[in-house]
């Protein structure tokens, strides 16, 4: 349930705009990203009782938030990525509390994606400003190859597929429909469409 109005945003809009006017290789990468965002947007919009915002501008910069889902279990800040390869977490450089957990997709270190979602999540958390409404960050990989594990955490950010994202966001929780609507309206007013 996505809400109504021209400022709602649409999944993949800014990636599609960025792709225009670039060299063919860059354009193909941006278009692939826009497709991934559209897939995740449809998954979220099809969940009953979930309110969504897509392609919201980050305050004071050119970055955007792909998706925000307001669910019974809280607010989900979702960054969609269309990557091939298997996402996995790897712990390196130390043991116990000193170990560094990294995100890899295939053989590439993609931990910077986790850092970006953590930043987006902190911004949304500051806007929500209510300890009774948890804000969760999620990286959702479209087109990835999943092994035995489909869903894990890296530095508090969930990493999963669109199917698992639907299960996570669609879970029952304590936030009433009225509370979700109020949070949705506040976020919509606070974060302009990108």
Give the pLDDT confidence of 123-166 residue by residue, as tens digits: 999 999 999 999 999 999 998 998 777 789 999 999 999 999 99
107 domain residue, yes or no: yes
Q: Which domain holds residue 32?
A: 6-190
Total domain count for the chain? 1
1 domain residue, yes or no: no
Over range 51-75, report the average pLDDT. 94
Over range 39-50, report the average pLDDT. 95
Model confidence, pTM: 0.82
Cβ-contact 128, 138 below 8 angstroms: no
């Amino acid at each position: 349930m996505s809400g109504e109005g021209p400022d709602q945003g649409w999944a993949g809009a800014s990636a599609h705009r960025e792709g225009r006017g670039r060299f063919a290789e860059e354009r193909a990468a941006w278009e692939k990203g826009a497709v991934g965002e559209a897939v995740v947007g449809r998954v979220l919009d099809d969940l009953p009782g979930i309110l969504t915002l897509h392609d919201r501008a980050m305050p004071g910069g050119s970055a955007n938030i792909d998706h925000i889902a307001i669910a019974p279990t809280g607010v989900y800040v979702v960054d969609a990525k269309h990557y091939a390869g298997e996402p996995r977490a790897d712990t390196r450089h130390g043991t116990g509390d000193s170990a560094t957990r990294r995100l890899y997709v295939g053989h590439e270190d993609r931990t910077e994606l986790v850092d970006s979602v953590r930043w987006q999540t902190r911004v949304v958390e500051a806007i929500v400003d209510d300890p009774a409404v948890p804000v969760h960050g999620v990286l959702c990989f479209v087109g990835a190859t999943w092994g035995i594990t489909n869903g894990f955490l890296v530095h508090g950010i969930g990493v999963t597929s669109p199917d698992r994202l639907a299960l996570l966001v669609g879970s029952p929780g304590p936030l009433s429909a009225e509370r979700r609507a109020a949070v949705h309206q506040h976020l919509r007013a606070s974060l302009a469409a990108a």
